[in-house]
Amino acid sequence: MAEPNRAPIPVDVLREFFTADDSSPSGLRWKKTGTSVGARYRQGSVAGSAKSGGYWQTTLTIDGKAHRLLAHRVVFALHTGAWPVGVIDHINGNRSDNRASNLRDATHTTNARNIAGLPSHNVSGFPGVSRHAKGGWQVSIRSNSRNEYIGHFTSKKAAIVCAYETKLKRHPEAAAYLMRWEADYHAAQAALQGRP
């Protein structure tokens, strides 16, 4: 998603209106009572509303001008003291989880690597593992906008172990993404080592 308003409002001004709060569904609460775009808000109430796609958005009116703000960008700015340079990546893949510990400034590439799930055409159930044309399984890792063939395996479990370890070694920032398949990795690793 394109992220509007790169740095619309100085962070010190944001701090006059918002406070970051992990207990708020949006990650934000209003610091004072006021009105924005005709809607009244109260001190301590949740700032923003959920939008399609899972993101939270809020509107702040300053000097008669309405600023639409994505809540995750505001939380990041409040936490770090600066607007992000790139896009905000939700580390756990949940777009509505705006806790500061779940947000990082990222490139579009890193953010795309941290997708919420597997593509619909994936038949292995594990990222980077697919059927090989001659039977068995193959591992390919996306790197520098290209698919890099890693190897061919007769065992799906061996392919899963290889894919997990290669991806983690080459893309350490993908660790949170890979956590979704950690149980599959450990089960495959144990099976290869003859453990139950």
pLDDT digits (tens, 9 = 90+) for 93-115: 788 999 999 999 988 877 776 66
C-alpha to C-alpha distances, 14 to 32, 133, 135, 144, 145, nearest whole angstrom? 12, 55, 57, 37, 37
The pLDDT value given to residue 108: 82
Q: Band of the pLDDT at 3, cuts 50, 70, 90?
A: low
The pLDDT value given to residue 14: 95
**C-beta of residue 160 within 8 angstroms of C-beta of residue 118:** no
Asked: is 11-110 a CATH 3.90.75.20 domain? The reply is yes
Domain boundaries, the chain: 11-110, 118-192
Q: What is the pLDDT of residues 19-29, one digit of tens each?
A: 999 999 999 99
Task: Tell the residue number behind the tokens 């599959």, with chain if given.
Answer: 184
pLDDT at 7 over 70: no
Q: Band of the pLDDT at 118, cuts 50, 70, 90?
A: confident
pLDDT at 1 over 50: no
pLDDT at 170 over 60: yes
The pLDDT value given to residue 186: 87
The pLDDT value given to residue 35: 84
Q: For all residues of the chain together, what is the average pLDDT?
A: 87
The pLDDT value given to residue 174: 74
**C-beta of residue 16 within 8 angstroms of C-beta of residue 61:** no
pLDDT at 168 over 50: yes
Q: What is the pLDDT of residues 50-89, one digit of tens each?
A: 998 889 999 998 888 889 999 999 999 999 999 999 999 8
Mean pLDDT across 123-141 = 90
The CATH code of the domain at 118-192 is 3.30.730
pLDDT at 146 over 70: yes
How many whole angstroms separate alpha carbon 95 and alpha carbon 9?
A: 23
Identify the CA nearest to 109 among candidates 152, 143, 62.
143
